[in-house]
Amino acid sequence: MKNNYIYVAIVLLNIGPVFAQKKNMNAAWRALTDYQSTLNDKPNLSYLQKAKESIDLAIQNPETKEDSRTLTYYSQIYYELFKYYQNNPDNSVQHYAYLSNAIDAFQILHDKYPKVASTPEIQNYGITLLNTSNQESVKLFNAKKYVDASRVFLYQYHLRKKVLNVTDTSALFNAFICAYKADQKDSIESIGKQLIQKNLDNVKVYQLLYNFYHHNKDSVSALKILKNGRKKFSDDVTLLNLETDYYISSKKYRQAISNLDKLIQQDTTNALLLLTLGNIYDNLANQQMAQKSYSDSTRYFFENAIINYLKSYRHKSKLDNENLFTLTYNIGAYYTNYGLFYYNKKMREFKITDLSQKQKEVEDKRKEYTQMGLPYLKEAESIKPNDNSVITALYRVYALIGDSKNAEIYKNKMLGK
């Protein structure tokens, strides 16, 4: 390694005689070579500290701060500091900062002095930095130090592009994942946009960007990124699910129904999707009922609700207890609500002269519908015996069908007796 550094110095000294006058740079170089001479025995940190003092003065001097030698020495000295403290940990020293500074200086050198950067020695040094960033990014990720990991993955991405002219898609994506895990707002947005603009994106990028915007209540950006993702990955079920969730949370039920129909076509036995679709139709029906609308459209919503609820029930073994409770409770409540809808619709259709003859028949039919929900409510009760909503629903059902004994039992339960 010592020979490599000496050779770099010779190459750079030939750039022009003006560099010979740069005292701080020369002092930094001498101290660095002195330090490297101790590596085979016991590294002498004092030499490296002297090198740092001199190169820091050079990097702060307007006349030398962007000099190719300054940038080269600065990068090498800070890289040696990183390695030293990596092998000799000191809690008071943030050794990854040294690696960051080393890579930053190398990248400036590469951009400002492409001829110098293209020399074999500098190229090899760049590969050393690249290999180190590869190793350290993984270590940081495994240690769940996501802020640092994101930064080092970014270095890895840029170094591979500069040194090898290769686009490292995985490094940029990993930087994005780490930024997301660290909840770094600016980095999430900037890296995510880079991935999309460079066409390096995948479904996960859109999913996480949507989650990020949704979590931060930025509904405009959330919907925009979701629509862009759906446009690019139109067949992806994950994005379709997210879009459906967005429509449901935004109460855009008709768009949600359209998406759910597509999802169910791909998985006809998905009990949760069927439950969700049934629930949307049920909500639409009950909204109409709240407006005292007993039209054919209300009937349509009710009918589609029970069709999907019962399809879901046929595959109930695929549901967890929480969703099974929701399904059985909803079916039970559905029949009570549909019975009320049927009763009100019929009563509005009758003439006053028909009421005495037909009202009992309609009331009996309403009771019949209400009673159809009883087994489902009892099943819901078996899952959550103390749930107030199911206890109240059972009380209402028993009261409506005229079972005064059970109605009294559930009334007492409601009152905590």
pLDDT tens digits, 111-169:
999 999 999 999 999 999 999 999 999 999 999 999 999 999 999 999 999 999 999 99
CB 150, CB 115: distance < 8 Å: no
Q: Of the candidates 128, 6, 24, 119, which has an alpha carbon nearest to the alpha carbon of residue 67?
A: 24
Give the number of C-alpha atoms closer than 13 A to the C-alpha of residue 397, restricted to the C-beta side.
28
Closest CA to 68 of 120, 32, 14, 27: 14
Do residues 158 and 172 lie in contact, with contact meaning Cβ atoms separated by under 8 Å?
Answer: no
* Element counts in the chain: helices (H) and strands (E): 21, 0
Q: Is 346 in contact with 364 (CB distance < 8 Å)?
A: no
Report which DSSP code applies to 166: -
Output 351 or 83, whichever has higher pLDDT.
83
pLDDT bin (cut points 50, 70, 90) of residue 195 is: very high
Instruction: Tell me the mean pLDDT in the region 239-243.
Output: 88
Residue 15 has pLDDT above 60, yes or no: no
What is the pLDDT, as a whole number, of residue 175? Answer: 96
pLDDT above 90 for 403: yes
Q: How confident is the model at residue 108 (pLDDT cuts 50, 70, 90)?
A: very high
- How far apart are alpha carbons 326 and 322 in whole angstroms? 6
Please answer whether residues 249 and 210 qualify as being in contact, where contact means their C-beta atoms are separated by less than 8 angstroms.
Answer: no
Q: Residue 18 has what DSSP assignment?
A: G
Q: Residue 352's pLDDT is what?
A: 66
HEC readout, 182-251: CCCHHHHHHHHHHHHHCCCCCHHHHHHHHHHHHHCCCHHHHHHHHHHHHHHCCCCHHHHHHHHHHHHHCC
Closest CA to 7 of 34, 22, 29: 29
Averaged pLDDT, 73-94: 93
Give first-to-last CA distance, the chain, whole Å: 85
The residue count of the chain comes to 417
- pLDDT of res. 63: 87
**Residue among 367, 394, 392 nearest 379 (CA):** 394
Residue 187 has pLDDT above 70, yes or no: yes
Burial (CB count <10 Å: 0-12, 13-18, 19+), residue 74? buried
Pairwise pLDDT comparison (132 vs 93), residue with the higher score: 132
Query: Mind giving me the DSSP string for 81-138?
Result: HHHHHHHS--TT--HHHHHHHHHHHHHHHHHH-HHHHTSHHHHHHHHHHHHHHHHHHH
Minimal CA–CA distance to 402: which of 373, 363, 346, 376?
363
Do 301 and 284 touch, CB atoms closer than 8 A?
yes
The pLDDT value given to residue 10: 33
Q: Which residue has the tokens 């994506």?
A: 173
Determine the Cα–Cα distance for residues 342 and 339; give it in Å rounded to an integer.
Answer: 5
Q: Rounded to 10 degrees, what is the CA torsion of 119, 120, 121, 126?
A: 90
Look at phi and psi of residue 126 and say left if phi exceeds 0, alpha if psi is from -120 to 50, else beta.
alpha
* Three-state secondary structure call for residue 144: coil
Confidence of residue 415 (pLDDT cuts 50, 70, 90): confident
pLDDT of amino acid 287 = 92
At residue 32, does pLDDT exceed 80? Answer: yes
Cα–Cα distance for residue pair 294/287, rounded to 1 Å: 11
Q: What angle do CA 388, 393, 398 make, to 5 degrees?
A: 130
Confidence (pLDDT) at 346: 84
Helices (H), 160-184: 169-181
Q: Is the pLDDT of residue 9 over 90?
A: no
**pLDDT at res. 124:** 95
pLDDT tens digits for range 337-387: 999 999 888 888 776 666 667 788 889 999 999 999 999 999 999 999 999
- What's residue 21's pLDDT? 40
Round the average pLDDT of the chain to a whole number and report it.
Answer: 89
pLDDT the model gives residue 118: 92
C-alpha closest to that of 191 among 202, 203, 204, 175: 175
pLDDT digits (tens, 9 = 90+) for 207-216: 999 999 989 9
**pLDDT for position 6:** 35
User: Domain locations in the chain?
Assistant: 1-118
pLDDT, tens digit (0-9, with 9 covering 90-100), for 264-301: 999 999 999 999 999 999 999 999 999 998 889 999 99
Rounded-to-integer distance, Cα 391 and Cα 396, Å: 9
Alpha helices in 291-320 (DSSP H): 296-314
pLDDT score of 236: 85
